[in-house]
Chains A and B, each alone.
Chain A
Amino acid sequence: MTRVYVQEDVCQGHTLCFMAAPEVFELREEDGHASVRDIELTDEVVDAARRAALTCPEQAIVVED
């Protein structure tokens, strides 16, 4: 089963994932750190997450099948 998540201890709040895929990621109010929204992981969503993962300067996003 596909898992998509942001490694909390790696994310530093660059917000590039949110810019790339606001429908997949949300930003914490206090510091802009990212997490995956509570949504269904459709193919579209997983594709968007993979694209966003490429653009994370910290490589904090994990998409695993």
Chain B
Amino acid sequence: MAEKVVVDFDHHSEAYRERGMEIAAEAREKCPVAWTESHGGYWVVTGLEEASAFQKRPDLFSAARELGNPDSIYKGISIPFVDSEYGGGFLEMDPPVQLEYRRILNSFLSPSAVLSWEPMARDLTNACIDDIIELGEGDFVEQIVNVVPAVLTMGLVGLRLSDWAIFNEPAHAGIYTPPDSPDRPRVDELTAQMGATIYQYVLEGKANPEATKGMLRALLDATIDGEPLPEINIMGTVGLVIGGGFDTTTAFTSNVWRYLAEHPEDKARLVKDPELWGTATEEFLRFFSPSQGTARSITQDCEVLGYEFKRGERALVSFSMPNRDPRFFEDPDEIHIDRFPNRHAAFGLGNHRCIGSNLARMEFKTIMQESLNRIPEYTIDYEGVERYEDCGTINGNKNMPMTFPAGTRQGPGLADAIERWQAILDAQSASAS
């Protein structure tokens, strides 16, 4: 029986941001399932075998949050626990009801469904580039990768595309602002406003279902066991899709954009041989792991893989740290863009595998390919790059200013693109009803 090994670990710390994967290696060396006293105490899972085993047992490792009961052992997927009115939608549910929600939304995010959004992703990326290309400078995060996944997410959910800007700051700042930051109250206020806006959409949707489209329409129409979905869960689910849709692909793509500037040989290989994007995407996902991991609540005294757990304990099942497990990945801290096999955990493992994974891959490849096509040479302005202050939830960058040889615009830019795509989506929806 394994002895409880204690480590000094806090995924929200500056140390984790600056040398998280080194810390992971040290912890994993001591014990792939170790305990930390941070944030009230939690297990830190740094091994891939262990993470995989725990995620196959949602009965023991629950993702659920019990809304309205802050004393519950079911504290959801974030450490530290932050009370929330709506929660994290189906991410903070267990089977069987979790699977019912996924069934409602699966068809929007299947591999074939996401292909139908590719033209819009391509067009939006070019429109964003059009707005900066003639200046010879711009911000890859603020002007390209914050925008494209956000507008696409709005389209998928069925919200007004131009409202992406309302959600933009709370979606990102909510993630990168440390729990104890003096800026937290302002960010929490923005998040509350975002919730109020989503609520307006839900009310509009209930009042006028015919005019509602996308995932929101599906959630409003759906029943589970003959009952419509509780409003609170519709709110949580929309918030979840916005959070997942806005921040993760953005963070990921920005890290790869910087990586390719620093590794021109890999950039050249990808440009020369686009088939490499397949394995390269998976390798970048493994290495950068935009979503760092999710927490679980242990539901009963139990033993898994020789580790003893107690009911009510919390565990951080990391994605990023198991993705560097030397037992499964040779040279784990090096990027090999042709790495195979690559059984990484960047989209999570088990029943909560990221429902947006196919969309994320399509968005990433599309944005990268169009951006490298229009801006083949660029220089990152490192003075201006700001990583997220807190990289415990998402490994991302607040901005990434760059300069490049000025080019020629191909179209009128983002505002026009958003109008055009809104019209297309409205027409599609009208002809479908």
A: which residues have CB within 8 A of B? Answer: 10, 12-16, 18-20, 27, 29-32, 51, 54-59
Contact = CB atoms under 8 A, between A and B. Distances in A.
Most buried by B among A20, A29, A32, A51: A32
Contacts of B111: 15, 18, 27, 32
B172 interface: no
B340 interface: yes
Given A14-B347, A27-B111, A32-B110, A55 B341 contact: yes
Contacts of A18: 111
Contact of A54 (B52, B278, B343, B345): B343
Range for the number of chain B residues in contact with chain A: 20 to 34
Give the secondary structure class of B's interface: helix
Interface in B34-72: 52, 56
5 interchain residue pairs of minimum CB distance: A55-B341, A54-B341, A12-B353, A31-B106, A57-B343
B343 A56 contact: yes
Given A30-B110, A32-B110, A32-B111, A12 B349 contact: yes
Contacts of B112: 29
A59 B112 CA distance: 24
B351 interface: yes
B106 A30 contact: yes
Contacts of A20: 340-341
A31 B110 contact: yes
Nearest to A52: B341
Given A12-B350, A30-B110, A57-B343, 15 more contacts: A12-B349, A13-B353, A13-B357, A14-B347, A15-B111, A27-B110, A29-B112, A30-B103, A31-B102, A31-B103, A31-B106, A51-B341, A55-B340, A57-B345, A59-B52
Interface of B: 52, 56, 102-103, 106-107, 110-112, 278, 282, 340-345, 347, 349-351, 353, 357-358
20 contacts: A12-B349, A12-B350, A12-B353, A13-B357, A14-B357, A16-B343, A18-B111, A19-B278, A20-B340, A27-B110, A27-B111, A29-B110, A30-B103, A30-B106, A31-B106, A32-B110, A32-B111, A57-B52, A57-B343, A58-B349
Contacts of B102: 31
A31 B101 CA distance: 12
Nearest to A53: B341
A55 B345 CA distance: 11
Nearest to A58: B349
Nearest to B346: A57
A59 B345 CA distance: 12
A23 B340 CA distance: 18
Nearest to B342: A55
Nearest to A18: B111
Contacts of A10: 56
A28 to B, nearest CB: 8
